[in-house]
Structure 1
Amino acid sequence: MKKHNFSAGPSILPQEVLKKTAEAVINFNHLNLSLIEISHRSKEFIDVMENARSLVKELLNLPEGYSVLFLQGGASLEFLMTPYNLLKINGKAAYIDTGAWSTKAIKEAKLLGEINVVASSKDKTYNYIPKNYTIPTAIDYVHCTSNNTIYGTQIKEFPKTDALLVCDMSSDIFSRKLDFTQFDLVYAGAQKNMGPAGTTLVIVKDEILGKTGRNIPSMLDFQVHISKDSMFNTPPVFAVYTSMLTLEWLKNLGGIAAIEKRNEKKATLLYDEIDRNSHFKGFAAKEDRSLMNVTFNLTNEADKETFDKLWNDAGISGLKGHRSVGGYRASIYNAMPIESVQVLVSTMQQLEKQIG
């Protein structure tokens, strides 16, 4: 029986993408060679890279003046690459602390300059998105994390600032309509909503680069990667190819507008059950609930053994909450079918019938 995969990442991918990727690993493009053994300099793979970058621009409606890169090191490396490329010598940056990943980004940025944490939701275990904060003047950039996988919160309205705006979108990229011209730099690990672990999407406005006065190590310099079309070093061919297939799948579904409707429908179904069923309570503040990661707890921990057996018996996988929050986390990324969410909701209703 195929599992209902609610894993937070590496996470679910469309079945048709998995099928095509599996075929390509054996015989790519009828070359009688595997995808993972061809040269990354070959025309066949260069076409893959160009198509992947083109699909990003098309799906996100990016105007001229933005470069799209497929890099390595995950969002964790972007925590360091961001200040290297944007934080001037003796400069300052503002960060919004909404969870574990923004905390790590802050730690890395502090290695290179003065970092002002302008808002934080740490006081309530990051179960909300801070609002009504003031962004200082004379800063090089503002950094935020759009969606927080661990805590199940999501930014609905992004900071308004005259400084550069940077966003880590690792867990909700391609899930909802946004005006990407408001951002100067966006980065996202592929393994939540775009592909397998191993590549990181970077979208950067060209005109903001080369202004820090820093000597940047080559592997950390966006301009170097742009000049080499994401191939300064050997790219992660498997991850880029699978991401390209996922982007094609998304385009064929009707793009971002279509997937946003599906995501809203899935999230509404699950949140409605959490709010209706007295055996459960949501973790994140209602106005900040994520469309991608639904976090919730039992109202009575004594029911844990019963509920865990129910969802395991139903073929559900990856539902356990992060250790820092406990409870449960249903990650319902783009590829998650609504039928799997319905199975989870039915399981929650079964608990209600059993316990009364």
Structure 2
Amino acid sequence: MAEAQDAPKTVYNFSAGPCCLPKEVLREAQADLVDYKGTGVSVMEMSHRSKTFTGIADKAREDVRRLLSVPDNFTIFMFQGGASLQFAAICYNLLEDGERQSANYLTTGTWSQGAIAEARKYCNPNEVANNKPSGYTTIAEPADWNIDASAKFFHYCDNETIQGFEFGDGFPFDRVPEGQTLVCDMSSNFITREVDWSKYGVVYAGAQKNVGPAGATIVIVRNDLIAGHRSDTPLLCDWETFSKAANTFHNTPSCFPIYVCGLNLAYMIEQGGVPAMKAKAIERSSLLYDFIDNSDGYYVNRVEGRFRSKINIPFRVCSNDELEAKFLAEAAKVNLIDLKGHRSVGGIRASLYNAMPVEGVHALIAFMGTFKENNPAPQ
């Protein structure tokens, strides 16, 4: 097998997940791949109960807590199964045995649709609002939301990866009934902004968007919510069982993904933490939105301004499928990859996760300008 070499070319990866990762993180993982820090074994081989891996996992959790200022009365889990498994786990852990209960669900795109669809198996979900009629571009005013004050919890997705719809700092917390547990899927904007933990009971995020490779899911649960799950809760959804296990690992975790997540978490701290990540997210997204909005309608993003995602930016090229196919093919030739929109909506999508350098956005904008010049809008 040939020795690993540095990439001969610069590629900007706009994938919606797995995300791009900092080259510094990848090189450190590469250097330690065969022999982790002189142990003689790879992280992929070592026992998850070993002192070495326990230290790796503890440090990763400590860095999540440091980056997001997570209070001590929250437990940080690193599960398998992606955020999608938590759609069920949330119901099992926050609902009770007996008659079917109610839970509030706010629908703003594909992933919140998935959450409420899963919830229908376990409870009577109350749909607070649904922005599908608008094409997921806006949402009804919070004063008009249909909220069940007696529901067990209130669930929403902070950033819809596919539709590019984000609440961010603008979520109307005052509409959550007093004492009702607020649950949030932050998968695609995790560690891009501060979190007010006094508002939340559960925050969960698939790591493959902003933190690391696929295979780990970070679930942060307020301690008073961990016990008291339904009696039929599957083992892998049981927060209480995991909380009592050594290092919160009841079974073998995704060791290598957790290790790479740990490297990237430490790197983000070195780069200035959440304030720096937030500033970069604003800079990258502002550059691209400004270009789109000033393209005389050649490129279009239809999401209402206050809900535009700073992380996932979908857009159309003259609303023309053939032109978009050409756009994607020519972009790939100049090393701008994974720009194809999700199969359910089509178009183009640029995902600007924490590791995306601003140079990547400049390269994309330069390409978009050239493409527009060379490919006039169809008449």
Normalising by structure 1, what TM-score?
0.96
Q: Does 1:236 align with 2:244?
A: no
Off by >3 Å, runs of 4+ in structure 1: 211-215, 302-306
Given the alignment, which residue of 295, 303, 310 partners 1:291? 310
Which secondary structure does the structure 2 equivalent of 1:13 belong to? coil
Counterpart-to-counterpart distance in 1, 2:206 and 2:118: 17
Q: CA deviation at 1:283?
A: 3.1
Counterpart-to-counterpart distance in 2, 1:45 and 1:136: 44
Describe the shift of the 1:31–1:94 C-alpha distance in structure 2 as closer, same or farther (beyond 3 A). Answer: same
Which segment is superposed worse, 160-169 or 327-336? 160-169
Describe the shift of the 1:307–1:206 C-alpha distance in structure 2 as closer, same or farther (beyond 3 A). Answer: same
Whether the 8 Å contact between 1:152 and 1:293 is mirrored in structure 2 is yes
Describe the shift of the 1:304–1:211 C-alpha distance in structure 2 as closer, same or farther (beyond 3 A). Answer: closer
Given the alignment, which residue of 346, 352, 364 partners 1:326? 346
Which segment is superposed worse, 74-83 or 124-133? 124-133
Counterpart-to-counterpart distance in 1, 2:35 and 2:365: 40
Written as runs of structure 1 = structure 2, the 5 A alignment for 1:214-253 is 214-228=231-245, 229-253=247-271
Written as runs of structure 1 = structure 2, the 5 A alignment for 1:131-210 is 131-132=141-142, 133-156=145-168, 157-158=170-171, 159-160=173-174, 161=176, 162=178, 163-210=180-227
Counterpart-to-counterpart distance in 2, 1:219 and 1:352: 50
- Quote the residue 2:111 is aligned against: 101
Describe the shift of the 1:56–1:130 C-alpha distance in structure 2 as closer, same or farther (beyond 3 A). Answer: farther
Which secondary structure does the structure 1 equivalent of 2:327 belong to? helix
Whether the 8 Å contact between 2:215 and 2:257 is mirrored in structure 1 is yes
Counterpart-to-counterpart distance in 1, 2:64 and 2:120: 31
Which secondary structure does the structure 2 equivalent of 1:95 belong to? strand
Q: Does 1:263 align with 2:281?
A: yes
Given the alignment, which residue of 290, 301, 317 partners 1:282? 301
Q: Does 1:86 align with 2:94?
A: yes
Name the amino acid aligned to 1:322.
H
| CA displacement 1:242-282 (0-9 Å, x = unmatched) | 00111001100111011100110000000000000121111
Counterpart-to-counterpart distance in 1, 2:68 and 2:357: 22
Q: CA deviation at 1:233?
A: 0.1
Q: CA deviation at 1:307?
A: 2.8
Which secondary structure does the structure 2 equivalent of 1:25 belong to? coil
- Quote the residue 2:5 is aligned against: none
Counterpart-to-counterpart distance in 2, 1:305 and 1:205: 46
For this pair of structures, how many residues does the alignment match? 356
Which segment is superposed worse, 330-339 or 149-158? 149-158
Which segment is superposed worse, 212-221 or 27-36? 212-221
% of aligned pairs identical? 36
Counterpart-to-counterpart distance in 1, 2:257 and 2:325: 38
Whether the 8 Å contact between 1:297 and 1:327 is mirrored in structure 2 is yes
Which secondary structure does the structure 2 equivalent of 1:123 belong to? helix
| CA displacement 1:278-307 (0-9 Å, x = unmatched) | 211113222210011011001252533553
Name the amino acid aligned to 1:15.
K
- Quote the residue 1:121 is aligned against: 131
Q: Alpha carbon RMSD of aligned pairs, Å?
A: 1.5
Which segment is superposed worse, 144-153 or 226-235? 226-235
Q: 5+ unaligned residues in a row in structure 2: which ranges?
A: 1-8
Q: 5+ unaligned residues in a row in structure 1: which ranges?
A: none
Describe the shift of the 1:169–1:28 C-alpha distance in structure 2 as closer, same or farther (beyond 3 A). Answer: same
Describe the shift of the 1:300–1:139 C-alpha distance in structure 2 as closer, same or farther (beyond 3 A). Answer: closer
Which secondary structure does the structure 2 equivalent of 1:322 belong to? coil
- Quote the residue 2:61 is aligned against: 53
Describe the shift of the 1:83–1:34 C-alpha distance in structure 2 as closer, same or farther (beyond 3 A). Answer: same
Whether the 8 Å contact between 1:142 and 1:164 is mirrored in structure 2 is yes
| CA displacement 1:51-75 (0-9 Å, x = unmatched) | 1111111111111210000010101
